[in-house]
């Protein structure tokens, strides 16, 4: 359609290089000068496309001269799509087949058909809420088999969803524990002996500024040391 209706703006592989180059230069020049782009607007393209599509649907069919594509479409019966909603919600992972089995998140699945796929990668399609059965497909999405679970680690449940929730909870608890330990460390931070001696030295200098006899100054220092202890 674009090649016919918008021949000037057609940029397909079969278009001459000089035509494409000229179009690019015209667009850049218009943008630089602040002028409207020579390209058609999306609304102009839509109107032209709808007009061409209507003409296409109502022309004689190339193989059935006495009818049009539009008339043929009205005679077709719609075939409903029968798809299990659970299949639409299944997730997929790449796994390698070994000894006629595939491993998936601390679980193992086996089927005799997988023996022919040893050492090869396949697509494992699994239900997020039930781990009892997985669907194995080739890299081209061709069905190989439905493999049943033969091993499940003790620390996992029968649902990938529950495992994910438990893992998330564990990480949340770990983060809270870290924050708790940091808060405790800040609240119980103590002054070490080096900091204490520095404080005493600074306070001793202050004691020299106190008016009075030497006995009073030593008494001031002793009181400070008792306080620091």
Q: What pLDDT digit, counting tens, does each position of 115-125 carry?
A: 999 999 999 99
> Quick one: pLDDT at residue 161?
87
Q: What is the three-class DSSP state of 64? A: coil
Tokens standing for residue 215: 């006995």
pLDDT at residue 112, as a whole number: 95
Position 182 scores a pLDDT of: 87
**Count of CB atoms situated within 10 Å of the CB of 5:** 15
- Whole-angstrom Cα distance, residue 118 to residue 112? 11
Nearest to 161 by CA among 138, 183, 203, 129: 129
Q: Please check the confidence at residue 147 and state whether its pLDDT lies above 90.
A: yes
Mean pLDDT value of segment 200-221: 57
Higher pLDDT, 167 or 190: 167
Nearest alpha carbon to residue 100 among 116, 86, 88, 85: 116
Q: Would the pLDDT of 152 be above 80?
A: yes
pLDDT tens sequence across 33-62: 888 888 888 898 899 889 888 988 888 888
> Distance (Å, rounded) from C-alpha 51 to C-alpha 136?
47
pLDDT band at 20 (very low <50, low <70, confident <90, very high): confident
Higher pLDDT, 217 or 157: 157
Distance CA 8, CA 4 (A): 9
């Amino acid at each position: 359609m674009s090649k016919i209706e918008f021949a000037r703006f057609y940029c397909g592989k079969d278009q001459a290089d000089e035509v494409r180059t000229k179009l690019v230069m015209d667009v850049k020049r218009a943008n630089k000068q602040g002028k409207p782009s020579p390209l058609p607007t999306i609304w102009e393209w839509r109107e032209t496309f709808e007009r061409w599509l209507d003409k296409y649907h109502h022309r004689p069919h190339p193989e059935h001269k006495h009818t049009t594509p539009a008339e043929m479409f009205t005679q077709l019966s719609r075939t409903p799509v029968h798809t299990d909603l659970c299949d639409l919600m299944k997730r997929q992972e790449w796994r390698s087949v070994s000894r006629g089995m595939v491993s998936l998140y601390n679980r193992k699945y086996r089927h005799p058909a997988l023996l022919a796929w040893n050492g090869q990668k396949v697509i494992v399609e699994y239900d997020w809420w039930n781990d009892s059965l997985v669907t194995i497909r080739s890299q081209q999405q061709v069905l190989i088999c439905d493999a049943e679970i033969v091993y499940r680690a003790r620390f996992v449940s029968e649902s990938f969803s529950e495992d994910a929730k438990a893992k998330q909870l564990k990480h949340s608890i770990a983060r809270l524990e870290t924050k708790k330990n940091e808060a405790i460390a800040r609240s119980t931070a103590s002054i070490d002996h080096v900091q204490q001696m520095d404080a005493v030295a600074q306070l001793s200098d202050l004691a020299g500024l106190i008016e009075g006899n030497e006995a009073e100054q030593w008494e001031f220092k002793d009181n400070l040391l008792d306080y620091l202890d």
